[in-house]
Amino acid sequence: MEYVTLHNGVKMPQLGYGVYQVTQDECERCVLDALEVGYRSLDTAQSYFNEEQVGSAIEKSGIDRKEIFLTSKVWIEHFGYEECKKSVLESMEKLRTDYLDLMLLHQPFGDTYGAWHALEELYRAGKLRAIGISNHYADRMVEFANFVDVKPMVNQMEVHPFNQQAQLKEWADKYDIRLEAWAPFGEGRNGLFANETLASIGKKYGKTTAQVMLRWHIQRGVIVIPKSTHKERMAENFNVFDFALSDEDMSAIAAMDTATSAFFSHQDPATVERFMTLLEERRQQR
């Protein structure tokens, strides 16, 4: 395993296992499989509704909690100081732990500063080993870094060969904020798994296109959290530390960048409205 060192000195595995869209019925089994394969970094979120299953799997695995780097994220309905602090403690209870290795603000909307102050307080109290943000584009990330007491340690964003976030990576490096990729494969959209450039590179090393993509992220210094519900794929994704891409390979993949989201832009006003609609629907369901 390779590690990155966050700006507060905490070491984080560069490859982890993500449970986005893993159902509650499958989550415990999947996390146990991932841990058996060798993963020691797990990424969940309040909005995934599977924190309890992740916590149960960690407990059942018998692995020392200190060996696992555990990440969750605060959803926007819990933004604001009091609500954020309360929700983080509830997440810890669901995850059956008295601390989290990393807690992120999941979206760049609403009272992010109030929520961040709660994370800062929990960080200083030792309940959170590191704190960060997610889906914050370069402008919002730089704003955050300059207008808070504790600078974010991680920014989790959509990053993959078709959307490489070159500008964001440049600014993240300047502020010593580690970039973490959600959807490091772009969910295979736009034919990414069958891409000829990636397949050609993989053939040289006897690796799959998925393994090439993960290796590319790692060599860029980006943290990755691929998701799979199949143990054999988990093992395949984990097996990326026995080869290295050449400068020529890295340049070929760099040329694939379209700088376009495969999903949606958080800077699109219609997207912001959609998130607010989802938030209101959640409030009405309570």
* CA distance linking residue 113 with residue 260, whole number of Å: 28
Bridging pattern class, strands 102-105 and 131-134: parallel
The token pair that represents 86 in the structure block: 């309360």
Three-state helix/strand/coil letters over the chain: CCEEECCCCCEEECECEECCCCCHHHHHHHHHHHHHHCCCEEECCHHHCCHHHHHHHHHHHCCCHHHCEEEEEECHHHCCHHHHHHHHHHHHHHCCCCCECEEEECCCCCCHHHHHHHHHHHHHCCCECCEEEECCCHHHHHHHHHHCCCCCCEEEEECECCECCHHHHHHHHHCCCEEEEECCCHHHHHHHHHCHHHHHHHHHHCCCHHHHHHHHHHHCCCEECCCCCCHHHHHHHHCCCCCCCCHHHHHHHHCCCCCCCCCCCCCCHHHHHHHHHHHHHHHHHC
Residue 72, classified by CB atoms within 10 Å of its CB into exposed (0-12), middle (13-18) or buried (19+), is buried
- Catalytic residue set: 48
| Residue 203, C-beta contacts closer than 8 angstroms, at least 6 positions apart | none
Instruction: Round to the nearest angstrom and report the end-to-end CA distance of the chain.
Output: 42
